[in-house]
Amino acid sequence: MRPGIPLFPSRRRALAYATAGLASGASYLHGTTLERHWIEIVRHRLPIALGPSAPPALRVALLTDFHYDPLFEGAFFESAVALANRERPDLILLLGDYITSVGEAAPEILSILGKLRAPMGVKAVLGNHDCSHGRRSVTTSLDRNGIELLRDRLVRLRHPAGTLVLAGFDSAWTGLPDPGLFKGLHQEERLLLAYHEPDPIAAIPLEWRDKIALQVSGHTHGGQICAPGGIVLRTVPHGVKYTRGLYRISPRTNLYVSRGLGTVAIHARLFCRPEITILDLINT
């Protein structure tokens, strides 16, 4: 024992240790049992210029970062599907990471997500975990459940009041995104872009980036374990600059980053509830 260090702590010090331990335990219990399953419906009314042929208003639902394995919490994702359908979106976008590392888990989670319903359809992109651990299984399961994969593709979706231009990129981490899809745009058109990782928006050449009215992304989990106020403590590659919420990239381009639904590595959330995003887009 070093001189001057008491063998037993004082009553005040012992109380401080006990309080810190209780607080840590309570935070862990809250993060693993309550907040991890406490889905928040995050709503934004977003005026953006979608182009002259786009509908005047459009409701889009975002769901992302499911990470179905290793917990296989089917009931939780069934409840998420029910919540999303209740919002009656015109379009549903799935932004990737359906699995964590088990490709064989893809059919089960995508059979659940196959119950999502929207008049303009359910469209999807892949995440980095999908590309690394189950691209074929995820791709096949998306198709079997009627969910269209936008892998470096641009599509025009009919709406009773106009046409939405939508595109999706492959994952920036392990995929090979091809910006050549911008060449398919007509001069006056602007697009809604689904892209799993948020930060690569800065790497898109300005001449094409200005064509993006809104990019929607996941990947970051909003930090997953955050300090009070949602302050992000840990970032991930391709999700360092843009971590959660709405960003104005330029006067013509916006970015929204969803906190997602699942967890990875640490199966807890703290000051970072799982999210279903409802974007009411108002064409200006």
| Domains of the chain with CATH codes | 39-283 (3.60.21.10)
Instruction: Answer whether residue 25 shows pLDDT above 90.
Output: no
Residue 221 has pLDDT above 80, yes or no: yes
Nearest to 152 by CA among 173, 128, 171, 133: 171
Task: Specify the pLDDT at position 88.
Answer: 98
Can you read off the two tokens belonging to residue 190? 């602007």
Q: Residue 220 and residue 97: Cα distance in Å, rounded? A: 11
Mean pLDDT value across residues 233-242: 96
Q: What integer pLDDT is reported at residue 23 of this predicted model?
A: 41
Q: Collapse the DSSP code of 10 into the 3-class scheme (helix H, G, I; strand E, B; otherwise coil) and give the result.
A: coil
Looking at residue 200, its pLDDT comes to 96
Strands 231-232, 57-63: pairing is unpaired
pLDDT of residue 49: 97
27, 137 in Cβ contact below 8 A? no
Q: What is the mean pLDDT of residues 243-255?
A: 96
Express each pLDDT in 204-219 by its tens digit.
988 899 999 999 999 9
Task: Say what the pLDDT of residue 21 is.
Answer: 43
Q: Is the pLDDT score of 20 beyond 80?
A: no
- For residue 69, the tally of other CB atoms under 10 A from its CB is 22
Contact (CB, 8 A) for 193 and 168: yes
* Model pLDDT, residue 7: 46
Does the pLDDT value for residue 28 go beyond 50?
Answer: no
pTM of the model: 0.89
| Residue-wise burial string across 170-195, b where 16 or more C-beta atoms lie within 10 A, e elsewhere | bbbbebebeeebbeebeeebbbbbbb
Tens digits of residue pLDDT in 77-112:
999 999 999 999 999 999 999 999 999 999 999 999
3-state secondary structure of 277: strand
pLDDT level of residue 11 (50, 70, 90 thresholds): low
CA–CA separation, 277 and 167 (whole Å):
18
Task: Check residue 18 and give its pLDDT.
Answer: 40
pLDDT grade for 60, boundaries at 50, 70 and 90: very high
The proportion of the chain whose per-residue pLDDT surpasses 90, expressed as a percent, equals 82
Least trusted range by pLDDT, from 10-14, 50-54, 171-175, 182-186: 10-14
Split at pLDDT 50, 70, 90, the class of 33 is low
pLDDT of residue 162: 97
Q: Following DSSP, what letter does each residue of 64-85 receive, concatenated? A: -----TTT--HHHHHHHHHHHH
Surface-to-core class of residue 251, CB atoms within 10 Å of its CB (0-12 exposed, 13-18 middle, 19+ buried):
exposed
- Answer whether residue 275 shows pLDDT above 80: yes
Q: In Å, what is the CA distance from 281 to each residue of 3, 57, 104, 115, 150?
A: 68, 6, 36, 24, 21
